[in-house]
Amino acid sequence: MTLSMRYPAIDETHDPALSSWVEGADDHPDFPVQNLPLGIVSTGGGDPRVGVAIGEHVLDLAAIAGLLPDDGRAALSQPSLNAYMALRPEQRLALRRRLSSLLTREDERRAIEPHLHRASACMLHMPARIGDYTDFYTGIHHAVNLGSVFRPDHPLLPNYKHVPIGYHGRASSVRISGVPVRRPSGQVRTAEGTAPELAPTRRLDFELELGFWVGAANRPGEALPIERAPDSLVGICLLNDWSARDVQAWEYQPLGPFLAKNFHTTISPWVVTAEALAPFRIAQPARPEGDPAPLPYLFDAADQAHGALSLDLHVALLPRGGTEAVPIARSHASHMYWTPAQLVAHHSVGGCNLEPGDLLGSGTISAPVPSGLGSLMEMTRGWKDPITLPDGQSRLALEDGDEIRLSAVASAPGFRSIGLGRCDGRVVA
Ligand SMILES: O=C(O)/C=C/C(=O)CC(=O)CC(=O)O
Ligand SMILES: [Ca+2]
Ligand SMILES: [Mg+2]
């Protein structure tokens, strides 16, 4: 195996000239035939099943199981993608190639077209049963910004550049795009030195993150070497780690975030596969001069050469009562200090078994510029400077009725861009 083959290769399914017979798919910003993301959908009150997004349509894979590769087909007749995520890389690749051919070849159209549904008529469900969700802290600019508010004396703690920092999140409250986000109550202190009270959070915030879906990985007690980590990264999504910052500020020491971040996490419902991402892998930016080299278990030359992602990330706010979402931040996935493979290698190094359907959050991905901040706590410089919206409203924290929309586009010269779909959540009282 050559170094560059750790991740799926670019093949005929990424050809920018490929055209689908599905009406409108070629012009769709997120889901042209070069993407083929998988999700769980139902139509007309039917059972949830595996579907693939193509333009404004969804193809029901359970209904065309007979046309899919024999090896691995059973994984696609399930009400979740956990079995798909457990497939071997070559099985996942064979499925993608078959789907690409079915949706581009005119001679397949008659057999396939009856099983296409308009996306607007489909209900989307959680893509997988998430056994465990872990949130990392790889956005180094976010870590510096947040640290300067929480711990002005040491914004970046001395471990940051040696160990991928993370915390075990809460899988049960991860929800797909569109599910309203109820403002949580929690213990807060109104002023330093006063007694805490139980109150609805006054510092509700969002976090711009990517989610990494884990597939077949390691057995309990066995570390997964970084060289094999790419096989376990089956796809990505957008992730908004809603945060109650006043609760967080009071509760987080010494064990880290707890109730401040476990009430609701929003993800985009489509799994954009590792295979689809082949053209969008880039080198991990070189560590600044003077930063420590990662320990050997976190270092792989191929991962450094291909393990980062070329994804533009966007945040928009649709304010309460508003009709138009306002762009409030734009960042890029290359601001992650650690690659997804490094996160997997680190998570498993002590023998913790990762399972198909586990979800890893990147941590908030802020860019090192004022227009690229991935949370309100950063944009307001620690609740000091409100942001002003075009309609004259201003915000320090999110208000009831506000909606946050995350989006992302993968692009590379010579390839068709693909998107991650929607990751929206509206705050309710
Ligand atoms: O104490 C801190 O520095 C802050 C920690 C977090 O907010 C945890 C978190 O969700 C990290 C992230 O999204 O980058
Ligand atoms: Ca987070
Ligand atoms: Mg758990």
Q: Return the CATH architecture of domain 3-125.
A: Roll (2.30)
Q: Where in the chain is the domain with CATH 3.90.850.10?
A: 133-428
CB atoms within 10 A of CB 88: 13
* Contact call for residues 397 and 203 (beta carbons, < 8 A): yes
Cα dihedral 97→308→420→73 (10° resolution): 30
Q: Where in the chain is the domain with CATH 2.30.30.230?
A: 3-125
Residue 170 Cβ inside 6 Å of ligand 1? The answer reads: no
Residue 374 Cβ inside 6 Å of ligand 1? The answer reads: no
pLDDT in tens, 15-70: 999 999 999 999 999 999 999 999 999 998 899 999 999 999 999 999 999 999 99
List the binding residues: 135, 137, 151, 207, 209, 241, 248, 252, 261, 265, 364
- CA 243 / ligand 1 centre spacing (Å): 9
Distance between CA 395 and CA 408 in Å, rounded? 24
Distance between CA 415 and CA 16 in Å, rounded? 5
Name, in order, each residue with C-beta under 8 angstroms of 288's C-beta and a sequence gap of 6 or more: none
- Judged by its nearest atom, the ligand closest to the C-alpha of residue 378 is 1
ipTM comes to 0.92
Residue 205 Cβ inside 6 Å of ligand 1? The answer reads: no
Ligand 1 atom 12 nearest Cα:
363
pLDDT in tens, 347-392: 999 999 999 999 999 999 999 999 999 999 999 999 999 999 998 9
- CA 168 / ligand 3 centre spacing (Å): 8
Residue 137 Cβ inside 6 Å of ligand 1? The answer reads: yes
Q: Return the CATH architecture of domain 133-428.
A: Alpha-Beta Complex (3.90)
pLDDT in tens, 147-171: 998 888 888 999 999 999 999 999 9
* Contact call for residues 427 and 183 (beta carbons, < 8 A): yes
